[in-house]
Structure 1
Amino acid sequence: MKNLFAYVGSYTTPGRNGRGNGINVYRIDRSTGAFNHVQHLGGLENPSFLAIDRSGRFLYSVHGDRSEATAFGIDQRTGHLSVINRQPTGGYNPVHLALDATGSFLAVVNYGSDSLAVLPVQMDGGLAPYSTLTTVTGTLGPHRVQQRNMAPHHIPLDRQGRFFYVPCKGSDCVVAYRLDEKRRVLVEAARVTARPGAAPRHIDFHPRKALAYVLNELDSTITSYRQDRRSGKLTPLQTVPSTPSEFTGYSTGAEIWLDRAGRHVYVSNRGHDSIGVFAIDPAKGTLMPKQWVPTKGGTPRFFAFDPAQKFLYVANQDGHSIVTYQVGRDGRLSPRPVRVRVGSPACIVFSR
């Protein structure tokens, strides 16, 4: 069976209280979920979010609090990374990236300067310069500290490969963009407004139905949307808390994923330090809380399923650890003894 590798990005700089050391590569035991370290690639500042192309030959990283993206080649036998090249993203603090449906373009969102860049992907996997930036504009939300700019936070491609969606933490909206391949620029197609002060952060999509789910950072809620797959428009269906009703402390939402069966939504809560599991109503698309499990470490900024969705791995940014849960047939999570010590983990992606 082909080796399975995990790539872990981290925060490295004092401004992020970073104790990471770059990107670490692990070989994964498919039966136990165990991590075995195979490479450390240093000399990288805040490689905070990663993406792998469909072929599994190339990995891409943005660098938090910086202004660049890096392309890496992957040795598919050993999992080792080698730097191909680096390109400016045209803005400050790029926080997320995603390839288009053809793998020909890499879209990057600049959180600190409210812009989107499209970088062509070359034949060798390297990145070419962007041609034109897309400026993200809108009305700012009411939070005087967290909503001082548009703060676009995420830019995943939907399941049909037609629209990139950008939740804007600073403007309480989610904007859909289509890619103009000739001009190499993203063009707004639709937008939806969230509750004032909600601060939409991350979005994921149902694998079969025209549904999308957004985790709102500041008010710790999840909003369900109906998606018009032709226009990109989102229509809200429901908003529910991402933390238990009895929790009265401070918490912010971080990450959201759906399982591939389309039965559950999973979210991470920083402060409550938990993963929440929500069942999807098969008829309505709305959510019902099912379980919360502790992340056994502070600030679960990110989590991911392994490709078989047998395990769920949580990256505790301030807990400096990756903890493991087994995913049951009913969607519930059970703790596993697998735990990896790693400084300030921010993202985990798996080889294909």
Structure 2
Amino acid sequence: MVAYAGSRTTRERNARGEGISVFEVDEASGDLRLLQVIGDLVNPSYLAANRGATRLYAVHGDGQEASAFSIGAGGRLEAMGSVDCGGRNPVHLALDPAERSLVVSGHLSGLVAVLPVEADGALGRVAQSEPLPGEPGPHRIEQPFSKPHFNLFDPSGRWVIVPDKGLDRIFSFRFAQGRLVPAVQPWVPAREGAGPRHAVFHPRLPRVYVLNELDSTVTTYAFDADTGALQPLHVLSSLPATFTGNSRAAGIQVGADGRHLYASNRGHDSIAVFELEGATGLPRFVAATPAGGRTPRFFTPSPDGRWLYVLNEDSDTIVRFAVDPVAGTLAPAGTPLRCASATCLVFARLPA
């Protein structure tokens, strides 16, 4: 198994990243060993691999491009080319279940784009650009216009959920034949000034958890798999009640067993741990574990769920935590790995 780390690379971002780093994963120990760095890339800040681990895709933050890479022997990458993805500052990408389309969020263009994936895995020209309508939220700096930050397929692959940080809305689209079609209930409002950023589905229950960047909260929504509609059920903070400083939420994940939820806090520099109630899926705050560095922009569990890898963007480290299989709590494990301005980590199991 290998892992790919994206990064920010530009002076404008005060970044120190080198591009995409390729790591060999020791599945017994959880250690990562550097194999390759693909340099001369502008902010390859978010990545996605296909199921067969033959292709890797990247969006280039602050730019307007998405790139494809072939995955060769040992997980090493070779560039296949880049295309315009139809919007400024692409921040997230997701392959549809058939792996014939790539959906991209244009954070500074207020749209979600669909790019076709060609037979050889290369990316084609934008097939659809879907603008997100609405009035901006009240934050004078962070909410001047629509700012989609994530585009998540539901487990069936029929729906795409898009949190919009600028509009305080979460949009829902039907995805069929390579196109996005607004749901009958096309969006649901978040709290004013919440700034919805990332989202994750519960692995079994009809629940979506949306992490709100600006007010550091998690909102639980009921999800109707027939209509794509979302209904808010519950809101709670991702921060301890005793913390009185400034912080911005970043990433959110659910454990594979559906018993625990995790969220990262930039400022408090922690990973919040929540227990999920078995029947309702509603979260209860358990703890906020120090992230082991500054600005935990991204984190992800290992495929087997034993480890949680935290990418501390401003301290240039990937910190590994052991996940307690019962309590879901986190404990530092191993030595932090240097990876400059790291912003994303994805795992890929190579073909035999």
TM-score range relative to shorter protein: over 0.9
Q: 1:200 aligns with which of 180, 196, 200?
A: 196
Residue 80 of structure 1: how far off its partner (Å)? 0.1
Contact 1:33 1:338 (C-alpha < 8 Å) held by counterparts: no
Q: Which amino acid aligns with 1:244?
A: P
Residue 284 of structure 1: how far off its partner (Å)? 2.1
Q: Which residue is 2:227 aligned to?
A: 231
Is residue 17 of structure 1 aligned with residue 11 of structure 2?
no
- Correspondence list, 1:76-87, <5 A: 77-87=73-83
SS of alignment partner, residue 128 of structure 2: coil
Work out the number of aligned pairs and report it.
346
Structure 1: distance between partners of 2:152 and 2:208:
12
Q: Which residue is 1:37 aligned to?
A: 34
Contact 1:23 1:42 (C-alpha < 8 Å) held by counterparts: yes
Structure 2: distance between partners of 1:89 and 1:280:
37
Structure 2: distance between partners of 1:60 and 1:113:
20
Q: 1:186 aligns with which of 171, 175, 180?
A: 180
Residue 185 of structure 1: how far off its partner (Å)? 3.2
Q: Which amino acid aligns with 2:43?
A: N
Q: Which residue is 1:90 aligned to?
A: 86
Deviations 1:57-107 (A, max 9, x none): 1000000000000000001x4110001121101110000000111111000
Contact 1:220 1:269 (C-alpha < 8 Å) held by counterparts: yes
- Correspondence list, 1:54-73, <5 A: 54-73=51-70
Is residue 107 of structure 1 aligned with residue 103 of structure 2?
yes
Structure 2: distance between partners of 1:344 and 1:160:
34
Q: 1:287 aligns with which of 275, 283, 287?
A: 283
Q: Which amino acid aligns with 1:188?
A: P
Structure 1: distance between partners of 2:260 and 2:128:
38
Residue 110 of structure 1: how far off its partner (Å)? 0.3
Q: Which residue is 1:173 aligned to?
A: 169
Contact 2:46 2:343 (C-alpha < 8 Å) held by counterparts: yes
Is residue 154 of structure 1 aligned with residue 133 of structure 2?
no
Structure 2: distance between partners of 1:132 and 1:5:
32
Q: Which residue is 1:300 aligned to?
A: 296
Q: 2:24 aligns with which of 18, 27, 33?
A: 27
Q: Which amino acid aligns with 2:49?
A: I
- Correspondence list, 1:308-319, <5 A: 308-319=304-315
Residue 130 of structure 1: how far off its partner (Å)? 1.2
Contact 2:89 2:106 (C-alpha < 8 Å) held by counterparts: yes
Unpaired segments of 5 or more residues in structure 1? none
Residue 319 of structure 1: how far off its partner (Å)? 1.0
Residue 344 of structure 1: how far off its partner (Å)? 0.2
Q: Which residue is 1:46 aligned to?
A: 43
Contact 2:25 2:33 (C-alpha < 8 Å) held by counterparts: yes
Is residue 335 of structure 1 aligned with residue 332 of structure 2?
yes
The TM-score normalised by the length of structure 2 is 0.97
SS of alignment partner, residue 15 of structure 1: helix
Q: Bigger shift: 223-232 or 279-288?
A: 279-288
Q: Which amino acid aligns with 1:144?
A: R
Structure 1: distance between partners of 2:223 and 2:214:
23
Contact 1:117 1:185 (C-alpha < 8 Å) held by counterparts: no
- Correspondence list, 1:252-267, <5 A: 252-267=248-263
Is residue 326 of structure 1 aligned with residue 322 of structure 2?
yes
Q: Which amino acid aligns with 1:70?
A: S
Structure 1: distance between partners of 2:162 and 2:13:
23
- Correspondence list, 1:241-280, <5 A: 241-280=237-276
SS of alignment partner, residue 151 of structure 1: coil
Deviations 1:35-75 (A, max 9, x none): 11100100100000000011111000000000000000001
Unpaired segments of 5 or more residues in structure 2? none
Residue 179 of structure 1: how far off its partner (Å)? 2.1
Q: Which amino acid aligns with 2:311?
A: A
Is residue 145 of structure 1 aligned with residue 137 of structure 2?
no
Contact 1:133 1:185 (C-alpha < 8 Å) held by counterparts: no
Contact 2:306 2:323 (C-alpha < 8 Å) held by counterparts: yes
SS of alignment partner, residue 215 of structure 2: coil
Runs of 4+ in 1 over 4 A off after TM superposition: none
Q: Which residue is 1:221 aligned to?
A: 217
Contact 2:152 2:161 (C-alpha < 8 Å) held by counterparts: yes
SS of alignment partner, residue 325 of structure 1: strand
Contact 2:163 2:170 (C-alpha < 8 Å) held by counterparts: yes
Structure 2: distance between partners of 1:179 and 1:237:
25
Task: Give the % identical residues.
Answer: 45
Q: Which amino acid aligns with 1:338?
A: T
